[in-house]
Amino acid sequence: MTETLLITGARVLTPDAEDAPFRDLLIEGGRIKAVLPPGEGPANVPHYDASDRLVIPGLVNGHTHGHGGLAKGAGDKWDLALLLANAPWVSGGRGLEEKKLSTQLAAVEMLKKGCTAAYDLPFEFPVPTVEGLDAMADAYAEVGLRALIAPMVADLTFFQATPGLTEALPPELRAKVEAMKAAPGEQTIAAIDAAARHWRHGAKGITLGCAPTIPLHGTDEFLKACRKLAEQHGMKMQTHVAEARYQAAGGEIRYGTTLLDHMDKLGLVGPWFSVAHGTWLTPEDLETMAKRGAGLSHNAGANMRLASGIAPARAAIRAGVTVGIGTDGSSSSDNQNMFESMRLAAFASRLWEEATDEDWLGTAETVRLATQGSAKLMGIEAGSIEAGKLADLVFLDLGHINWAPLNNAANQLVWTEDGSAVAEVMVNGQWKLRGGKVLGVDEKALAARANAAAEKLLAINAEARAFCDTLSPHVACYCRSLAGGFRRVRRLLPAH
């Protein structure tokens, strides 16, 4: 990691993302050593000619699920409740090989689309395993991304978690869902603890976190145990909070307060913590998050895909919450394209009723959220091209149709670019993608393995899928009526 390289001839995005002047970049030891006016770099180091390139910081995915890699395109008209009800077949039946493969698929897609780091919440049934988490970390390391792998865990099933749902089911279905059980909390905590004790991926930029998946899906004891464990190991935490309106309604029934407020009372909300989605957070929730130093991953694409609503990103920024941008997993987005996530986040901000242009997310601001914002959620020194930052860089081909002509870098990054102009990617000062190809990965062989795995999983999960099909209309009907019970009290936009 001591190699030195001088990148010349490129346009380089400024840290505020407002401009892209010609600059030379001196890379040393995996970091950006200096950002220099053209021609001012040392002559006695290897040069790399990046003429016709726009160099941007690698995009950082604030929220995804590696296990979604094998599930892209698995469904159409499902909302979050239906996705959770169908999880047994969408994400089920995975062996160690499929766990690694799914993560590889997600990682390759992210890299090809200009993303260099991901906050990944993977799922293993019934409990996380050291081998499973190692396999996922190896998948990221082989592709070359940084990752924060925070296993997604719960000690209650979706049916136990959703107040009144089981009782609303016909008797024969009720009996079956009552027989479903999540793994005991102690077993899950012990599994993550074991993984943390044996973690061997830190040097490759891959760290371990802890993600109690959804507050309603954990008993208070379990949520507190997750916090205790994360504190012991200095781990980051992320939770899907108020992603869907039915959950916000369920929180009021179960806790008599908001989901975020309940988590705060249990001690989970702090600088180590970020909310995924936060679609139905209240202004009071945002104030609490700002006070505690907590963050938010804004995943507008998944929120639209699952009909969850629009997250109050502008209100969160105004409150002082660190906001990043994420794709969410491919079972709910169904791609890993951070350019698209930026575009949809900026679009969504324009859909608030009564919003004015001061409430909209601007393009340079959106780029900063998807780089510096998400990097802060992950706790990595990346997200801008400045001396001292990690050399995680994406090179866009300015000869590509997306950049003909180059009118404004930030506007085109958000409004025009779709990942297809990504020509080279460097992570930690090392090339991971050249000529549009991921180095060290045979993509054709990977695709063949993915298709074989999908066929195998279809057969393994057929019975679970048939049961979910029977269950789905009841879940949809109940959760939609439950959602109607939640009303935000205070306005999320200032009155004009």
Positions in the binding site for Zn ion (CB under 5 A): 328
Closest CB to Zn ion among residues 134, 328: 328
Question: Is beta strand 47-49 parallel, antiparallel or unpaired with respect to 31-36?
Answer: unpaired
Question: Could you give phi then psi for residue 106, rounded to 5 degrees?
Answer: -65, -45
Residue 133's closest CA among 181, 183, 190, 194? Answer: 194
Beta strands in 93-186 (DSSP E): 115-120, 146-149, 152-153
CA-CA distance, 465 to 226, in Å (whole number)? Answer: 31
Closest CB to Zn ion among residues 155, 328: 328
> Quick one: tokens of 286?
């945002």
Shortest distance, position 213 Cβ to Zn ion, whole Å: 8
Contact 119, 379 (CB under 8 A): no
User: Which element (helix H / strand E) includes 363?
Assistant: helix 363-368
> Quick one: tokens of 44?
């006695």
Residue-level length of the chain: 496
Closest CB to Zn ion among residues 63, 368: 63
For residue 92, give Cα distances in angstroms to 126, 206, 449. 10, 25, 17
Closest CB to Zn ion among residues 24, 328: 328
Closest CB to Zn ion among residues 57, 218: 218
* 3-class DSSP assignment, residue 116: strand
CA-CA distance, 86 to 389, in Å (whole number)? Answer: 42
Shortest distance, position 65 Cβ to Zn ion, whole Å: 6
Both ends of the chain: CA-CA distance in Å?
54
Closest CB to Zn ion among residues 7, 377: 377
107 alpha-carbon distance from chain centroid: 12
Closest CB to Zn ion among residues 57, 326: 326
* Residue number with the smallest Cβ distance to Zn ion: 328
Residue 162's closest CA among 89, 126, 238, 214? Answer: 214
CA-CA distance, 285 to 78, in Å (whole number)? Answer: 27
For residue 150, give Cα distances in angstroms to 211, 301, 331. 5, 21, 18
Shortest distance, position 183 Cβ to Zn ion, whole Å: 20
CA 286-287-289 angle, 5° bins: 65
Contact 301, 418 (CB under 8 A): no
Closest CB to Zn ion among residues 20, 133: 133
Shortest distance, position 328 Cβ to Zn ion, whole Å: 5
Shortest distance, position 63 Cβ to Zn ion, whole Å: 6
Shortest distance, position 239 Cβ to Zn ion, whole Å: 10
Contact 10, 380 (CB under 8 A): no
> Quick one: tokens of 66?
């590696």
Shortest distance, position 394 Cβ to Zn ion, whole Å: 24
Give strand pairing partners of 51: none
Closest CB to Zn ion among residues 161, 409: 161
User: Which element (helix H / strand E) includes 411?
Assistant: helix 409-415
Shortest distance, position 141 Cβ to Zn ion, whole Å: 23
Burial of 408 (0-12, 13-18, 19+ CB in 10 A): middle
Closest CB to Zn ion among residues 66, 185: 66
Closest CB to Zn ion among residues 250, 429: 250
Shortest distance, position 89 Cβ to Zn ion, whole Å: 18
Shortest distance, position 337 Cβ to Zn ion, whole Å: 16
